[in-house]
Structure 1
Amino acid sequence: MSINGLFPIDKWNFSTQSILNNLPQEERAFLYANMTELPLKKGEVLFRQGTVPQGLYVVMQGKVKKYHMNGKGKEQIIYVANPGELLGYHAILSSERYPDSAAALEESIAGLIPKEDFLQVLDGSAKLSRMLLRSLSHEFTVLVNSISVFAQKSVRERLAIALIVLREKFKSGGEGLVEINVSRSDLANMVGSGTENVVRFLKEFKTAGILDTAGRKIIIRDVRQLIALSGYGSL
């Protein structure tokens, strides 16, 4: 079922999927001309926090997680990118090192557009500049919303929100049940809690008929109950 009108999913998703497709054909062709396809195994790192950016990444297949490592080596997943979404352009625009890392959540393919090609098109494209500015503004809203949730919501509520967001990421377009294929540790790193807490609440949700599990897969059966548990009304 659709959650439109029930949950503000746009507050949890970045808006980069349409940027390259909406460019004039000649600009898009120039960006893709020297793009390198990078096959990624599950867990393989695309770029690391603190390194110098080499270019703009486009998720072509699979799913890639953006995450930040704190001083104690604890991973916090910031976002999960689907095919068509862009990664790594913030560091290029700011002429700084990557503020976060990216790694494949599952077997994936990413395209690397050289930094020089991206900047050349950006210099001459008012449309690309406008779309990136709009995207950056929206991403700021998404991140502020995420920070607010971490400060105000319980682990149970944050897990419900994470499962709703992942359900949208893993939807195949049909109306059937959605299977989320993610490790418990990755889910815990999205929620910002220990894996044992996440496992405990998943069992609770399963007992309530909200979801089923099959190995690492989570099958969402009642998204309305998840939305109710998320405390969405007080977001």
Structure 2
Amino acid sequence: MAGRNKVVRKAMGISLFMFVAFLSVYFFIHSSFFDIEEVSVSGNRVVMTGEIKALSGIVPGANIFEVDTASAAAAVAAHPMVNAVQISRHLPNRMEIKLTERQPWAVIPAGTSFLVIDDCGVCIDRLSFMPGSACLIVTVDDLPPGVVPGKRVVPGAVRNIQNITSLLPRGVLAQISEFHAASNQDIFIYTLEGTEIRFGNQDRLREKVVMVREILDMERELEPGEALEYVDLRYKGQPVVKYRGR
């Protein structure tokens, strides 16, 4: 019996020790030692630091362990200019917000406005003027009405045009004035010289991209007074070439 009482007392002692230890850890974690003193933001060039902090909801004085980093990151990621967010704790009292901003990739005329989109097709701004940045000009047949920043715009058309531009050097892209996506997903390319290149769908992609470069070379070699009206690459075999005035 005495042995049993000894075991019970030992168990109670262990339980009491664990309870006291738990309380000690709990009160230590929730002490002012872990109150946030600094919230740092990095990776932002366009979005203001104060705006990011406000969106995150992380404020100095809050307990570092009580911050829901997933919810805070989701709140920051809701900003149309933000592409990705990572929020980290740095014990004992610093929080860090790292983000990647969306970069302008193309401009889509939309009535009297201009939609600035990134390379995922997400609208990051709607302007009343044509931006001066070196973005592609993209026009589409099926532009949905009422596009606002943060909304994804014609992702299929964006993807098809990207497949082409990714294979063209920057110097070649500088000779192109516009990419147009038709309702059937065919792509039309317009050069600075006014030539319409009927690129078509994504079939024979690399072959047709090579032809686009050849067409641009051809434009430079035309005789004075000559000009291309269109070149049709949509069908296998030799492209159909139409000169203006012929």
TM-score, normalized by length of structure 1?
0.23
Q: Answer 1 or 2: which has greater helix percent.
A: 1
Q: Answer 1 or 2: which has greater strand percent.
A: 2
Which one has more relative contact order, counting CA pairs under 8 Å at least 6 apart? 1
TM-score, normalized by length of structure 2?
0.22
